[in-house]
């Protein structure tokens, strides 16, 4: 029998050589020195990118102020919001369970306005801005819930809902540095031909200047917005009818007629009261 022809030395190869070739010392087609150079290149390359990113972020942070946003041109006038936080207030005055959610929402919201809490703040002079330059943590002017009188929830814990004359609280959104000119006040009207009687607390829906300016969440940690309570004095003929109420901030340079933003300086909500 003829002997099998032997393969020349060094010509044998298999798929294992693609992973590691013992003759050349290559791993996945590269020698150890080649892998080391590639690793060093990417280490330097990504290290440079990380350094550039870190430097860019650091430079940007040097331009920021912890207490005041760098750009504040998105909103120049505040929007209005109401409490309870429902744009449709449906009340059955003879069913406490039905209007309980409104009463509870008002009570929870007014916790920060309790007289015992507000007495820890400063009693500011009326009619002038409360400007503060030095301290990082700004002082806060008192706004006691007792100022809301019949809508404070103190004498009447149901905020008028049990008698079919519900209270609604109105507040302006916070804008850092805002100092409204004039004498801002809240004015509400029912969208119908006949007038709807309303009571305002404080008197005439006045918003005093002493609650401005606001210095931001970090500096003004205990700040509370001034409130205006509106008590809707509904009569028998006003029941079983959906009333649309629109409230605006008047008497100042604050905008309230921007058709592109229905909440800028105004707010509209609906009230439906039944016996």
Q: What is the pLDDT of residues 65-96, one digit of tens each?
A: 776 766 665 557 899 999 999 999 999 999 99
pTM over 0.95: no
Q: What is the C-alpha to C-alpha distance for residues 92 and 243, in angstroms, rounded to an integer?
A: 15
Examine the pLDDT at 112 and tell me if it is beyond 50: yes
Instruction: Encode 21-30: b = buried (16+ Cβ within 10 Å), e = exposed.
Output: beeeebeeee
Q: Who contacts 8 (Cβ-Cβ below 8 Å, separation ≥6)?
A: none
Q: What is the DSSP-derived secondary structure letter of residue 214?
A: B
Among 70-84, 103-117, 169-183, 254-268, which is the least confidently predicted range?
Answer: 70-84
More confident site: 245 or 1: 245
- pLDDT of 4 reads 47
**pLDDT tens, 221-268?**
899 999 999 999 999 999 999 999 999 999 999 999 888 888 889 999
pLDDT band of residue 2 (cuts 50, 70, 90) is: very low
């Amino acid at each position: 029998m003829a002997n099998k022809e032997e393969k020349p030395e060094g010509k044998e190869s298999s798929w294992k050589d693609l992973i590691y070739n013992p003759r050349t010392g290559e791993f996945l087609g590269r020698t150890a020195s080649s892998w080391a150079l590639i690793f060093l290149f990417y280490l330097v390359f990504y290290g440079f990118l990380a350094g550039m990113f870190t430097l860019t972020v650091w430079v940007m942070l040097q331009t920021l102020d912890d207490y005041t946003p760098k750009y504040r041109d998105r909103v120049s006038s505040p929007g209005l919001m109401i409490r309870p936080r429902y744009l449709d207030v449906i009340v059955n005055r003879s069913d406490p369970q039905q209007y309980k959610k409104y009463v509870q929402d008002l009570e929870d919201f007014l916790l920060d306005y309790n007289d015992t809490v507000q007495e820890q703040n400063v009693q500011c002079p009326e009619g002038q801005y409360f400007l503060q330059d030095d301290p990082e943590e700004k002082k806060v002017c008192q706004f006691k819930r007792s100022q809301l009188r019949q809508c404070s929830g103190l004498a009447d814990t149901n905020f008028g809902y049990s008698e079919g004359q519900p209270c609604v609280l109105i507040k302006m959104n916070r804008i850092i540095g805002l100092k409204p000119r004039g004498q801002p006040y809240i004015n509400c009207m029912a969208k119908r031909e006949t007038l709807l009687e309303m009571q305002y607390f404080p008197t005439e829906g006045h918003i005093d200047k002493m609650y401005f300016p606001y210095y931001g969440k970090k500096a003004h940690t205990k700040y509370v917005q001034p409130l205006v309570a509106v008590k809707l004095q509904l009569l028998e003929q006003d029941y079983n009818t959906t009333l649309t109420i629109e409230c605006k901030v008047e008497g100042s340079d604050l905008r309230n007629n921007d058709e592109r933003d229905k909440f800028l300086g105004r707010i509209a909500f609906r009230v439906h009261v039944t016996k």
